Amino acid sequence: MQKNYTSLSREQLLACKGALEEEYQGYVKKNLKLDMSRGKPAGTQLDLTNGILFTLSNYITEDGIDARNYGGLDGIPEAKRLFSELLNIPKERIIIGGNSSLNLMYDAIVRFELFGTGGHTPWCKLDHVKFLCPSPGYDRHFAICEDMGIEMITIPMKEDGPDMDMVEKLAAEDASVKGIWCVPLYSNPQGICYSDEVVDRLASMKTAAPDFRIMWDNAYGVHHIYEQKSVKDIFKACDAAGNPDRPFYFFSTSKITFPGAGVALVASSPANVAEIKKHMGVQTIGHDKLNQLRTVNYLKNAEGVREHMAKLAAELRPKFDVVLQTLERELGGTGLASWTNPKGGYFVAIDTLNGCAKATVALAKNAGVTLTGAGATFPYKKDPQDRNIRIAPTYPTYEELKTAIELFCVCVKLAGVNKLLEEKA
């Protein structure tokens, strides 16, 4: 257990600062060059999936289509069945895409902008379009809004999901609020899992916009590390609440098989699926069906995915262990940081003292460790309290990660002590 820095005197803090700076300089001298910035799997993790490269012996699909040829706009039946079983989504609600669920999300927003949805005005014809952005959240969701000129409203995250009082109020009062980004299970970056109550409130809340949409990015839907969490069925909740067209569900195998060559899907209500297919059928003749076959041949069925994910979890667990244990050992009780203990997903998120995130990231960078930019997890890259830092433990080796997270803790402490000294000046 570390001392609580927030109760130290100025003199004690100065002494700590001296010791921390010495420790920090020790790391600087090591000439580290480590990248903890992005949620990429390591090569060793990808190696666990190499078998997928050699699974393609057939190219005729169950329904007799030649997967090499044109056609099959919404995906091959065996891929739909696999994901239907895995995610408990009716097959007819699923459209299989290319290698990127982000691309499916972007294109969904493009269609809202250009064509509108459900017969409502295309968003590009409106003066103001706003999106609710639970934050810290996924920077690439926010980048889509920024690209489209959609105004983002930061919604604080609570332990069981977004602040629903605020979400409900904004959605009910402002017809220009058109939707919300959600990563409902093991959220990026905090690893928060939405409670049943949050899902029900999202599904049933009154919205001033008739075309309010939930962008349900279940990116980590089967990415358990310590526990098998689940999230309430958004389709059933929305159907029950009489809002069947509200959710757009996204998923991919990017972090199941290969990030660069996975299979993504979008799922929604029958009306939305028809709308998507109408435009997607103009955009393309079909996505890569051979890669869909490869994926199904390799993963086989829902149980096959779960077995595969257990292997990946075994690879990831030591990395999460060393991060979480080091944080606890070095920062626990210091009063300088708080963090969530994710049970799955790809990230650990740390809150430093207010006003210390940028300084911490800069210190780490100066010592050769690249972290996700401070603020990146907020709309417009602006963390109002400059305190959240996303740690991505997956890419470095265990040894690299161990060093990097130890240095990180020194940086958090040094930035924190500097901040406390400032306040006492």
Query: Which residues lie below 8 Å from residue 320, measured CB to CB, with a gap of 6+?
Result: 225, 226, 342, 348, 393
**Angstrom distances, CA of residue 167 to CA of 95, 105, 197, 204, 263:** 29, 21, 13, 12, 32
Q: Does 315 bind a second copy (CB under 8 A)?
A: no
By CB under 8 A, the residues from 70 to 89 that bind a second copy are: 70-72
Q: Does 284 bind a second copy (CB under 8 A)?
A: yes
| Near a second copy by CB under 8 A: residue from 125, 128, 169, 236 | 125
8 Å CB contact between 265 and 86: no
Q: Does 340 bind a second copy (CB under 8 A)?
A: no
Q: What is the DSSP string of 246-301?
A: SEEEEEESTTTS-TTS--EEEE--HHHHHHHHHHHHHH-S---HHHHHHHHHHH-S
H/E element, 136: none
Q: Does 128 bind a second copy (CB under 8 A)?
A: no
Q: What values do phi and psi take at 242, rounded to 5?
A: 80, 20
How many residues bind to a second copy according to rule CB under 8 A? 51
The neighbour count for residue 288, using CB atoms within 10 Å, is 17
Cβ of residue 98: shortest distance to a second copy, in angstroms?
5
Cβ of residue 145: shortest distance to a second copy, in angstroms?
10
**Closer CB to a second copy, 56 or 166, in the complex:** 56
Q: Does 56 bind a second copy (CB under 8 A)?
A: yes
| Near a second copy by CB under 8 A: residue from 148, 172, 241, 302 | 148
Using the rule CB under 8 A, give the single segment among 212-220, 256-264, 324-332, 372-380 that binds a second copy. 256-264
Q: Does 108 bind a second copy (CB under 8 A)?
A: no
Q: Which residues pair with 60 in a beta bridge?
A: 66
Q: Does 381 bind a second copy (CB under 8 A)?
A: no
Q: Does 232 bind a second copy (CB under 8 A)?
A: no
Considering Cα of 103, then 105, then 110, then 111, what sign does the dihedral take? positive
Tokens of 157: 């995250």
**Closer CB to a second copy, 116 or 335, in the complex:** 116
**Closer CB to a second copy, 59 or 197, in the complex:** 59
Query: Which residues lie below 8 Å from residue 104, measured CB to CB, with a gap of 6+?
Result: 97, 250, 264, 265, 266
Cβ of residue 154: shortest distance to a second copy, in angstroms?
19
Q: Does 258 bind a second copy (CB under 8 A)?
A: yes
Tokens of 127: 């003066």
By CB under 8 A, the residues from 25 to 54 that bind a second copy are: 38, 40-41, 43, 46, 49, 53
Task: Please give the residue ranges that form the binding site for a second copy (CB under 8 A).
Answer: 38, 40-41, 43, 46, 49, 53, 56, 59, 66-72, 98-100, 102-103, 106-107, 110, 113-114, 122, 124-125, 140, 143-144, 146-148, 254, 258-261, 279, 282-291
